[in-house]
Structure 1
C-alpha cells in the first residue's frame, strides 16, 4: 500500500464535468456513466468522446445509465490500494440520475469511510463541488470539514444552460419541468437550470439564440449580485465559437472571479442535450 498523496480521496462521476485539465493536474478519481448503442456499450469520457455521440445522433440516440456497481467498486478498490481510508464522493442530482443511490450502495460495502454528496445539480455545477473538495483535501482539511464546506457551497452553486432544441431532452426523458414549454415553436429558447430538488426547470425564456444568450448573462449577473468571492465556468456541447465569446465576455465583466473553468460537457450529457449547448456555471464562495 502506498501513502495517499492527499488527506481524503475525492471520487466524482463523469457527468459532473470536472474539466479534463483539472483532473489531469490533481489526484481525482472518476467513475464513468455507460452509453449503450444497439451493438456496443461505451464508458463515458473513457471509450467515447462527445464528437462521436453528436455525429451519430441522427442514426441512433443511445441509452445512458449510471455507473455500474462493478465500476464503482473498482474505483473504491483503487482508492484503498492508493492508501486512503476516507472518501468523499460527489454525484450529480439524484433527481436526474440513479448515480447517487448506486454510489451509496457500493460505499456501504467498500470498507472505506465514505460520504456521498448529492449536489442536486448537473455538469460543471456538480463538478464545482468536486473541485472544491479536491482543493480542501490538498490543503490538509479533515473529512468532516471538507464535507461540511462542500455541502454548504453546493447550495450556492447554479448552472444556466441553453440548448438549440428540446428534442433530445424529450427523447431521453430528462426534460423535467421544461416539458410544458413549446421550445421548438416560434423560436422560443428556454434557459434551463436545476431547482432545489435537482430537477430541470425553465428559469427564463427568450425568442431566438441571441436573446437567450443575453438572458443567460443577465442571470449570471443577478446570481452574483454583491458577492465578492466566486468561481465561474463556461461549458459547451460542440459549440466552441459561442463558448469562446462567453469566456471573453465573462472575463471582462468579472475580472475578480477566482477561477473561470472551461470544458466540454460529457458524452453522456450530450446524448440528452444534442449539439449546441452553452452552459454558464456560478459557484458562490462567500
Structure 2
C-alpha cells in the first residue's frame, strides 16, 4: 500500500506535545523586518517576533515559501513512491496555497494540495486528523473526505485589540486608524471561506467581552456537541486569560488547547489579539 505523508506550513500553531507525536513536514513562511530576514519557527520564535514587532516602526512583512522550496520538499517525500497531502492556510491571508499548487504541478510524485480555508488551530484541526489517518490503512480519498468534514465543523473567531498593524499594512487609512485608536475601537470577526467578516466593533473591551460571552452562551444553550476548543493568542493578557478561564469553567469536559499564534497572523492582528477555534462533533 502506498504511504501517505502530510505537509503543512508554519501557521499551523501545533503544540510542542503534538509536534513530537506527529509524522509531519512543516514548510516555514518567511518574515522580514526592514533589513533582517527570518524563517518562521526556525530562526525566530513567536515570542521573539512579538517583542521585535513592538519595537519596529514599520510593519514586518511575511512571504510564502517559494515554489522551489515546495518542489524540493515534495520530491524528497515522494521519492519512495509515497503520496503527499499538503494542507495550507487560507488564501484570504497568504499566497502560500498558490505556491504549493504550482509546485505540485512541477513535482515528480503524487501531491494533493488542500486549501484549508483556515489558519492557526483551524488549520491544525485538519492536519491532526490527516496525520492520524495517514498512520492507518485509509486511502488518499478517504483522508481528503475527512479533512473536508473537519473543515465543515470548525469555526474560527478572533478579536483585534490594537489597530496599529491594520494602519501600517494599509488595510485602514491613517486617519481612520487615528480616530479608532482615540476612540479605543475594538473589533470581533469571523474567518469564513472567502473573507474576514466583522461581527461587532465598538469602544473598549466590552464589545469583545460581549461577543466571546455570546458565543459561549450560545453553545451552552443550543446543546451543540463540541469536540474541542482552541485558543491562539498574540500575547496572553489578563483579558485573554479571563476569557480562556470562562470557557474552561463552562466546558469542563471539553479539551481546550491554548497556543501562541504564528507571526503571520500576528502581523495582521497586532499584539494581544486572540482567536477561538471550535470544532463541533
- The two structures share one fold, judged by TM-score above 0.5: yes
**1:212 offset after TM fit, Å?**
0.9
- Which SS does the other structure have where 1:169 is aligned? helix
Instruction: Say whether 1:75 aligns with 2:73.
Output: yes
- Give the alignment partner of residue 190 of structure 1, picking from 187, 190, 194: 187
Distance 1:211 1:38, change over 3 A: closer
Q: CA deviation at 1:144?
A: 0.6
Tell whether 2:28 aligns with 1:32. Answer: yes
Name the CA distance, whole Å, in 2 between partners of 1:256 and 1:201.
Answer: 30
Q: Does structure 1 conserve the Cα–Cα contact (< 8 Å) formed by 2:226 and 2:278?
A: no
TM-score (norm 2): 0.86
How many aligned residue pairs are there? Answer: 275
Q: Is the 8 A contact 1:17 1:123 kept in 2?
A: yes
Q: What's the CA shift string for 1:176-221, capped at 9, x where partnerless? A: xxx99x7435323111221231x22212234322441342232244
2:149 counterpart of 1:152? yes
| 1:1-286 matched pairs, under 5 angstroms | 7-57=3-53, 58-59=55-56, 60-80=58-78, 83=80, 85-173=82-170, 183-197=180-194, 199-222=195-218, 225-239=222-236, 241-257=238-254, 259-285=255-281
Unaligned 5+ runs, structure 1: none
Question: Contact between 2:216 and 2:247, CA under 8 Å: does it hold in 1?
Answer: no
Q: Kindly report the root-mean-square deviation, in angstroms, between the aligned alpha carbons of the 2 structures.
A: 2.7
Instruction: State the 1:108 CA deviation.
Output: 1.5
1:217-267, CA deviations, whole angstroms, 9 ceiling, x for partnerless residues?
32244368432242110111122544443333222212342x322211112
- TM-score, normalised with respect to structure 1: 0.85
- CA–CA distance in 2 between the matches of 1:75 and 1:242? 41
Structure 2: segments with no counterpart, 5+ residues: none
Q: CA–CA distance in 2 between the matches of 1:174 and 1:11?
A: 31
Q: How far apart are the structure 1 equivalents of 2:169 and 2:13?
A: 19
